[in-house]
A and B are shown apart, each in its own frame.
Chain A
Amino acid sequence: AQTVTQSQPEMSVQEAETVTLSCTYDTSESDYYLFWYKQPPSRQMILVIRQEAYKQQNATENRFSVNFQKAAKSFSLKISDSQLGDAAMYFCAYGVEDNTDKLIFGTGTRLQVFP
């Protein structure tokens, strides 16, 4: 069965600095998608970045980038120039395009940003 592991329950970073959140996963599939979602307190889950497993190039969205290591089954998120608004729960998720397209989530990392 596919699993997603986030080993950092909490992380903190100073404003304008860089922080990396870790995620590992287990799967026997060769083609899949990986995601980082942001969940601010009492607000909806928002997609931060998406990576297609068959693409070797790491995805980038403005200040957010990933380090995708397919052989190691690792998918870390780097947030550059951290802002106060980045404070939230971050969830790593895995999905396979099939009849359902359901997502499997990790347990999350709470990111605190200090001024």
Chain B
Amino acid sequence: DTGVSQNPRHKITKRGQNVTFRCDPISEHNRLYWYRQTLGQGPEFLTYFQNEAQLEKSRLLSDRFSAERPKGSFSTLEIQRTEQGDSAMYLCASSLGANRGFNGYTFGSGTRLTVV
């Protein structure tokens, strides 16, 4: 297992365009998280999936953002009509929920989005 994989690593887009990021979690992990990290800040929670069900969304996740996790495997995060304020690092993490104590909570390398 190669850990949590995120693609692309970098994305530059023009304001108003739509972008989609992909996260492939560790295969046996049933929990998947998206975080956003802006410059000079720590990661902030965006949303959480248990298997294919999206169980929690942060107020940071405006209606321009949508996330899916079909069949409980990989996940996608789409941002519609991007704005310059969306420029950030988008981090994905996964964990095995039954493995208590936050064991195995693993982050990917992130997708850096720049909106110009």
Query: Counting CB contacts under 8 A, is A68 at the interface?
Result: no
B55 in contact with A101 (CB, 8 Å): no
Number of chain B residues close to chain A: CB under 8 A: 26
Expressed in whole angstroms, the Cα–Cα distance for A11 and B109 within the complex equals 24
B110 — which chain A residues lie within 8 A by C-beta? 44
B23 to chain A, nearest CB (A): 12
A52 in contact with B101 (CB, 8 Å): yes
Expressed in whole angstroms, the Cα–Cα distance for A47 and B101 within the complex equals 13
A101 — which chain B residues lie within 8 A by C-beta? 31, 48, 95, 97, 102, 105
| Chain B, 17-40, CB within 8 A of any chain A CB | 31, 33, 35, 40
B43 in contact with A105 (CB, 8 Å): yes
Question: Given A44-B109, A95-B102, A101-B97, does the pair A4, B55 have CB atoms closer than 8 Å?
Answer: no
| Chain A, 65-115, CB within 8 A of any chain B CB | 91, 93, 95, 97, 99-108
A103 in contact with B40 (CB, 8 Å): no
Expressed in whole angstroms, the Cα–Cα distance for A52 and B91 within the complex equals 24
A105 — which chain B residues lie within 8 A by C-beta? 42-44
Expressed in whole angstroms, the Cα–Cα distance for A101 and B96 within the complex equals 11
Nearest opposing residue in chain B for A105, CB measure:
B42
Contact of A107 among B35, B42, B56, B93 (CB under 8 A): B42
Number of chain A residues close to chain B: CB under 8 A: 27
A47 — which chain B residues lie within 8 A by C-beta? 105
A97 in contact with B102 (CB, 8 Å): yes
Query: Counting CB contacts under 8 A, is B108 at the interface?
Result: yes
B55 — which chain A residues lie within 8 A by C-beta? 99-100
| Chain B, 38-97, CB within 8 A of any chain A CB | 40-45, 48, 55-56, 91, 93, 95, 97
B40 in contact with A107 (CB, 8 Å): yes
B101 — which chain A residues lie within 8 A by C-beta? 33, 50, 52, 97
A44 in contact with B95 (CB, 8 Å): no
Apart from A44-B3, A100-B48, A103-B102, list 8 A-B contacts with CB within 8 A: A33-B101, A97-B100, A100-B55, A101-B48, A101-B102, A103-B45, A105-B44, A108-B42
